[in-house]
Amino acid sequence: MEKLLIKNAAIIDPVRGKSFTGNILCSDGKITGTGAGITCGGAFEVNADGLCAAPGLVDMHVHLRDPGFTEKEDIFSGCRAAAAGGVTSLLCMPNTNPVLDSAEMVKYVLEKARGACANVYAAGAITEGLRGDGVSDLRGLKDAGAAAVSDDGRPVISSKAMAKAMLEAPALGLRVLAHCEDLYLSDGGKLNEGAVSKFLGVKGVPPAAEECGTAREITLAASYGVPVHICHVSTAKSVEMVRSAKKHGVKVTCETAPHYFALTEKELLKRDADYRMSPPLRTENDRMAVIEGLMDGTVDAIATDHAPHTPKEKSDFLNAPNGVVGMETSLAAGITFLVKPGYISLQRLIALMSYNPAGILGINAGTLKAGAPADIVLFDPAEEWTVDAAKLHGKSRNAVFKGRKLIGKVKMTVCRGKIVYNGG
């Protein structure tokens, strides 16, 4: 399919800052124009009447589990899940086996992903083997194609190693993504330390575990004058620290995940490990603080931290690994919990999920302007649907929104000018 014409869509482009009804013409994998009067003889036509068209979503925090854990997910199954959720570009984390701490492993992921139905970018490991000390060859990772560096899944334990990485990365065009956690404070906790953990008699993770880690990374960024990106912000104090740092000129950005603005620790009363992730679900006060951060620009992006695990692993509430899948529900969760209640506009949501993360990573995505990659999501912003975990397109079923009614349904996803998902 060389030419694709999407007709009569409500076009949402964060770059233009406004919505309008029109057509989008794609040719040879690029967007060649948007507007009401655009036509093209011989193009494959899609009638998008009643649907919104937006830049394909950019999920800057995904665990594809490949290599080493492909029973949970692999590059192709993960990208199928991405396409079903309107995600056309994703950044995969390095906590695989082997770890993505070498040029060889980064090349493995990128070469394998060439045939996938989403654009895959790789985050190389900050430290060798994710051991928290001993910085990887960052130049080698960059030359191999890494788009960022992170030890996500674990914090970089050594402040010296983190400082070294943060100083080296900017000159290489790499963004440092920080998993903020003080392991001495989290100390094997299973859920948020508070009323629910006490009621269940389960060891909790204090909010201070995340907040101490956040404070360290902000301090390093401030002291050395270098940028840092804070992953999966979940507490009110973390949001406030980022807000304050930005006011003082610190080069800090941050993301949150849909479960942190939609759910609270009360979900754990079900004793279902599908609601366990790291950092854990927090309190209603924290949830509202995250929403306030999204409203005022403190929180720059929404990412899923898509972390697949097998049903067998997740069957044990206390011993199951942390993590939930989320790419297929992220747009609907944003509409349901942010747009419908009036916290943010649909335009703002699309920016948080496409243009902003693309800008943080420095990748060519997140816009529908002429010449941009033909990565587009078509969705019905008003359609209600119930999440059926058994019908998800990835390998795993640990969906945090399972059984919930959400608003906003992805109908079609176009990646590189080709239809990679057609949901009717």
Residues designated as active site: 305
Count of CA atoms in the C-beta half-sphere (13 A) of 325:
32
Beta strands in 28-86 (DSSP E): 30-35, 44-47, 52-55, 57-62
Instruction: Check: CB of residue 162 under 8 Å from CB of residue 132.
Output: no
Say how far residue 170 (Cα) sits from the centre of its chain.
22
Residue with token string 């009614």: 405
Radius of gyration of the chain (CA): 20
Which residue, among 178, 175, 244, has the nearest Cα to 210 in the 3D structure? Answer: 178
What residues contact residue 55 under an 8 Å CB cut-off, 6+ apart?
Answer: 13, 14, 88, 350, 354, 355, 365, 366, 367, 368, 372, 375, 376, 377
For the chain, how far is it from start to end, CA to CA, in angstroms? 19
- Tell me how far CA of residue 5 lies from CA of 25, 350, 365, 366, in angstroms: 5, 21, 19, 19
- Tell me how far CA of residue 419 lies from CA of 25, 187, 373, in angstroms: 13, 46, 13
- Tell me how far CA of residue 73 lies from CA of 66, 331, 393, in angstroms: 7, 21, 10
Instruction: Check: CB of residue 109 under 8 Å from CB of residue 123.
Output: no
Our CA angle for 223, 227, 233, nearest 5°, is 100
Q: At what angle do helices 207-224 and 236-247 cross, to 10 degrees?
A: 10
Length of the chain: 424
Q: Residue-wise over 304-313: b if at least 16 C-beta within 10 A, else e? A: bbbbbbbeeb
3-state secondary structure 150-174: ECCCCCCCCHHHHHHHHHHHHHHCC
36 DSSP 8-state letter = T
